[in-house]
Amino acid sequence: MVTIRCNCFKQSLTKVGTLSAVLTSLILFSFSSANACINPLKGKAIQGGLIIFKAENASHIKLDGRAVSINKENGFVVGFHRDDVDLRTINAHCQDGTEFKLNLVPEQRIYKTQKISGLPNNMVTPPAKILNRIAQDSELVKQARSQKGTSTDYFISGFDWPVDGVITGVYGSERILNGAPRQPHFGIDIAAPTGTPITASAAGTVVMAKDLYFTGWTIIISHGDYLSSTYSHLQDISVQLGDYVNRGEIIGVVGSTGRSTGAHLDWRINWLDKRLDPQLIANKHP
Ligand SMILES: [Zn+2]
């Protein structure tokens, strides 16, 4: 009988030939070794979720057959997109010579529908002459989010809420703007008065500090292991591209720049192109 416990995953694994157990919230773990040389520290397999693993005694770790890079603290992360349903498999060699296998099936969620009317039509359907700028903006955002970042545990103590305010929009909701269905919303909207300070959710490097068409003044911070946080619609920013920021450091103030109907912060967390749900990942709401 092997029991592994941590406060994030209520789990109890029993050896029956091959170790296997179906965990709460549809997380399926199967171990071909009694030694779990890879351990989940935080998070769970759920759409929009992030799992932080420690791999103290493992090498050659692969996620779905592709090599995973381990950071200096022997950690690595796995994130799940809004609509991910596929099984993800982690394989590794343990130091004791055994092979480790872990299957992750993301728990599926039901998302809200959010209707927003009264937006200026040129913001919902941008004029043709602005399409180039929008394409450039999105390429820059993609580049910023594709940076691996410094490999260190900037995010190991989680992500702090960047501003105190009222949540007016949630992750994953389907959006109907001026009556027309659009891309789902991937951020958390936090309404707060214009000028309210916004702080970095975790330490990292500023990989974008720019005024964009849709998101107005936008800051992206890279936290390492391809994890980034994005802050949009700022009235003003107080950091520059390349700056290192500490957790809790002021990076700008709340505004309503870009496509926005009022003063709020749109806060996002990405793992490469996987869009994660800050509400699942963040530390306690203030
Ligand atoms: Zn938003």
User: Average pLDDT of 204-208?
Assistant: 96
Q: How many CB atoms lie within 10 A of CB 133?
A: 13
The pLDDT assigned to 51 comes to 95
Choose the weakest-confidence range: 69-73, 166-170, 190-194, 257-261. 69-73
22 CA → ligand 1 middle, Å:
35
109 CA → ligand 1 middle, Å:
19
266 CA → ligand 1 middle, Å:
4
**DSSP-based three-state secondary structure for 278:** helix
The pLDDT assigned to 64 comes to 95
pLDDT in tens, 75-101: 899 999 999 999 999 999 998 899 999
- pLDDT at 189 exceeding the cut of 70: yes
pLDDT band at residue 235 using 50, 70 and 90 as cut-offs? very high
d(CA 249, CA 256): 21
174 CA → ligand 1 middle, Å:
12
d(CA 251, CA 138): 22
Choose the weakest-confidence range: 116-125, 186-195, 202-211, 229-238. 116-125
Q: How many CB atoms lie within 10 A of CB 127?
A: 9
**DSSP-based three-state secondary structure for 215:** coil
Closest Cα partner for 191 from 252, 261, 263? Answer: 263
The pLDDT assigned to 153 comes to 66
17 CA → ligand 1 middle, Å:
49
13 CA → ligand 1 middle, Å:
40
- pLDDT at 5 exceeding the cut of 50: no
pLDDT in tens, 97-132: 999 999 999 999 999 998 888 877 777 788 888 999
- The type of residue at 88 is R
31 CA → ligand 1 middle, Å:
40
Q: Which domains does the chain have, with CATH numbers?
A: 15-104 (2.60.40), 113-281 (2.70.70.10)
Quote the tokens at residue 146: 């594709």
d(CA 48, CA 82): 5
62 CA → ligand 1 middle, Å:
34
Q: Name 17's Cβ contacts closer than 8 Å, sequence gap at least 6.
A: none
CA-to-CA dists, residue 115 to 44, 118, 184, 255, angstroms: 30, 10, 11, 21
Got the DSSP string for 43-67? --SBTT-EEEEE-TTEEEEEETTEE
215 CA → ligand 1 middle, Å:
8
The pLDDT assigned to 30 comes to 42
Closest Cα partner for 44 from 3, 94, 102? Answer: 102
Task: Look at 277 and 15; give whichever has higher pLDDT.
Answer: 277
114 CA → ligand 1 middle, Å:
11
Across 68-72, 118-122, 245-249, which has the greatest mean pLDDT? 245-249
Q: Name 176's Cβ contacts closer than 8 Å, sequence gap at least 6.
A: 113, 114, 115, 116, 182
The residues pairing with 63 across neighbouring beta strands, listed in sequence order, are 66, 90
Contact between 187 and 220 under an 8 Å Cβ cutoff? The reply is: no
188 CA → ligand 1 middle, Å:
6
